[in-house]
Chains A and B, each alone.
Chain A
């Protein structure tokens, strides 16, 4: 058995004959289609002799069919000769399926496409803001109803989420803030030494962590950890139609899924933020003790002198707000999942990026707000 395929033409004045032989299969498709393209229709009729074909599949049949079709379109004639019933049936089957068929989306001009992309993104983002506001409203209404006792609060879920968000994050948040405290102390000490004001490193650590860094870094960490988890959990429940099932049974997905997460996140971020600030102060203190010979007792005393209570309160006030917004962002993105698994991935990414973004924007807002109120 030869492993080749060929189309050879014998022409004479009264007619043309094309001998197809060998294996007209997809492996040889490239060659036979190139050979076919070289045969241009003219007035003489063409006989395609397929008696030498050893094996043929749909692609080989397709090439033969294209020849016949092109000759017919040119007003000439092509006939197939020497076909066994099987070969004929294959060619007939393929010709019956030669229908106009769109393969890829209409593309239009590049400028239009660019404009379309920009337009679609604008509309999409506007809609996204709209749906988020609707979600925010719904959540706040349900939250209010829960607070005044018209809806039950799912304590089990709240406690479970507290464990997931808070207790399980203690290690990573503690370590991160401890290291940040050390870095702030070390960098601060290097700069302040220039002015002989090394001792003010305690002010730097105390005030920056209690008021800003402690809560901000904790919020970013928790957003990365838990907001993505919320989006993925709720998103896969959405894909699995669990959310629909909940609604049918008469449970509100906001009440069951969102409220426990929002409350647990608000509470846990408050505690984690405080814990994080403490760890940063401990980290900074350790550096001061080791590198600046400042004993722990003196360090703690200095911290108490230089950090006003208002700093701690400002840090603490921000925490539940950040927590609620992070939780809502995660849940919202989860609820927006539709279609396939890819959408879960995309929404999870957005949940993390957007919640971190919103946390930083809100933090900037808080900073300006409290300064304007006179907290220096």
Chain B
């Protein structure tokens, strides 16, 4: 069992809901330092709500959420700002500011938190553009001029602007073609290795799960049903999990893996 020091996100007894509808009840989750955790679950099981609760966009009804050992709901404005500087978030469609260019979007967090000379910010934004696999001429473009995949990359570059230790990704490969999706997976893996990132990844993409996730957390019935490596989860006896990993798509993605291992 990991010690508390190694746990970056610790969720206990979380309860979330809208009106009469309860999304989470008694949800527990640990995310360890330096791992990529994949969060899966059927539509409507509250994967995005869980992410929003952790990053403080959704106020939970009950329960505690600790990030880097600090209780998120108890923080004062200054501490909350400091905490936000340590994580980066990639929303589903990039959520780029549409009135700013890609380069300006990447520089927004730097401008907000640090007083750096413009030339230096340009240099940093420049290598982030290249690191996230955007073409060199993408800097002056506006988000509406980019394709979906490029918007995601630009969103990732903005999420990485302050060199966060923790990265939240909401369906990063949804809507990308398989080649771009594989390249995105590879990119996240490389960034994780070089930057030592902890990654909280929501996905439907079985290939992504197999390719980059260290552990997978399955959300169902308002809680985390099981966490573990894919091999561990396959032995878990629950209809949704069995169906998920042993259905035709699950087998196809996993078949690859076994062949590679053999």
Contacts and interface: CB of A to CB of B under 8 A. Distances in A.
A290 to B, nearest CB: 52
Nearest to A86: B196
B139 A340 contact: no
Interface of A: 25-27, 29-30, 33, 57-59, 62, 66, 86, 89-90, 93-94, 97-105, 339-342
Bin chain B's interface residue count. Answer: 20 to 34
Interface stretch (B11-19, B130-138, B224-232, B246-254): B130-138
4 closest A-B pairs by beta carbon, nearest first, are A57-B163, A97-B130, A339-B144, A101-B126
A93 B130 contact: no
A25 B125 CA distance: 15
A26 B162 contact: yes
A337 to B, nearest CB: 12
A342 B98 contact: yes
19 contacts: A29-B120, A58-B124, A58-B160, A58-B163, A59-B124, A62-B123, A89-B194, A90-B195, A97-B127, A97-B130, A99-B126, A99-B130, A99-B136, A101-B139, A102-B139, A102-B140, A104-B101, A105-B140, A340-B98
A104 B103 contact: yes
B193 A89 contact: yes
Interface string B111-123: 0001111001011
Contacts, number: 83
A30 B116 contact: yes
Contact of B127 (A33, A62, A89): A62
Contacts of A340: 98, 143-144
Contacts of A100: 136
Contact of B116 (A29, A58, A93): A29
A101 B135 CA distance: 8
Contacts of A104: 101, 103, 139-140
B129 interface: yes
B62 interface: no
A241 to B, nearest CB: 14
A94 B123 CA distance: 11
Contacts of B120: 29-30, 33
A57 to B, nearest CB: 4
A339 B120 CA distance: 32
A339 B143 CA distance: 9
Nearest to A99: B130
A32 to B, nearest CB: 11
Contact of B131 (A27, A86, A89, A93): A93
B95 interface: no
B43 interface: no
